[in-house]
Amino acid sequence: MKLSILLSAPYRKIAADGLWHNNVVLSQNLALCPLLAVTGTATNGLGMGLATMVVMVASNAIVSASRHLIPGEIRIPVFVLLIAVLVTLVDLLLNAWMHELHKVLGLFIPLIVTNCVILGRAESFASKQPLLPSLWDGLMMGAGFTLAMVTLGAGREIIGSGSLFMNASVLLGESFRFMETTVIPDYQGFLIMILPPGGFIMLGFMVAGKRLIDLKLANRKLAIHAQLQSAGAVS
């Protein structure tokens, strides 16, 4: 099997859907509970996003591989059980190998199991698609989710406490300490952005921003289309 298959049209579409058009947070508005709960800093958003991505890839793979074995009537309980097992694994692994991060995210890792987007991808994609597209979909949806989490966390962290990627060394190791930056020196903080209301405010602006960009892109496409048509009419 060649990796170049990932550049073929259907796979490109999966990637574009996951990263932008059908983004978990910005378009589907799913997974908002962990989103709002942990994105006080960009690092926490990154950690939570990566953990969710791992679970999503694994669950998509297992669901896809066993999709012919699972009777349709009981597929939801089976999916839930599978996801719960995976989340427990991630929880224990994080606790064992990244204990400091687990102390920060610990409360929210079990919440991944209630994260509707994992069940959503299992139900709407992996249970109907072969293994490779399912793996790719899990990876891309997870990456889109992580991107949104990091952007949201970064926005809240900069406005709320004037820093960026604080405690990145805890998540990624000592060699990533350079990422910890103080954006605004001597900043006394804007507490409400760190608190849950800040998450809602920031998320609202991000969703609005995505729709604005989509609108601009669509308008540009229409304009080009109209130009081509008029050019064709003249010639």
Partner 1 sequence: MNNTAISGPHIAASNSNSTNQIMRKVILALLPATGFGIVIFGWPALYLCLISVGSALAFEAVCLQCRGLKPGHYLADGSALLTGLLVALSLPAWAPWWIAILGSAIAIVLGKQVYGGLGQNPFNPAMLARVALLISFPVEMTTWVNPGLILLGPGPIDSLAIIISGVANPDAVSGATTLGSVKTGFSLNQTLPGILYDYSGWLALLGWERGSLGETSSLLLLASGLWLWRQGVIQWYTPAALLGTLSVLALLSHWIDPQHFLSVWVHLNSGALMLVAFFIATDYVTSPNTRLGQLIFGAGCGLLIFVIRSWGGYPEGTGFAILLMNALTPVIDHYIKPRIYGRYRNGKPLDLGQTE
Residue 217 C-beta: closest distance to partner 1, Å: 18
Q: Which is nearer to partner 1, 76 or 223 (CB)?
A: 223
- Which of residues 189, 213, 220, 223 is near partner 1 by CB under 8 A? 189
Is residue 176 close enough to count as binding partner 1 by CB under 8 A?
A: no
Residue 159 C-beta: closest distance to partner 1, Å: 10
Number of residues that bind partner 1 (CB under 8 A): 11
Is residue 187 close enough to count as binding partner 1 by CB under 8 A?
A: no
**Hey, what long-range contacts does 64-70 have (CB within 8 A, 24 or more apart)?**
64/126, 64/127, 64/129, 64/130, 64/131, 64/133, 64/134, 64/135, 65/131, 67/126, 67/127, 67/128, 70/127
Q: Which is nearer to partner 1, 107 or 208 (CB)?
A: 208
**Hey, what long-range contacts does 27-34 have (CB within 8 A, 24 or more apart)?**
27/210, 28/117, 28/120, 29/207, 30/115, 30/116, 30/117, 30/120, 31/115, 31/116, 31/117, 31/145, 32/203, 33/111, 33/114, 33/115, 34/108, 34/111, 34/112, 34/115
* Cβ–Cβ under 8 Å, residues 157 and 40: yes
Scanning 3-11, 71-79, 93-101, 185-193 for contacts with partner 1 by CB under 8 A, the matching segment is 185-193
Q: Which is nearer to partner 1, 135 or 193 (CB)?
A: 193
Residue 51 C-beta: closest distance to partner 1, Å: 30
Residue 115 C-beta: closest distance to partner 1, Å: 27
Is residue 195 close enough to count as binding partner 1 by CB under 8 A?
A: yes
Q: Interface residues with partner 1 (CB under 8 A)? A: 188-193, 195, 197, 201, 204, 208
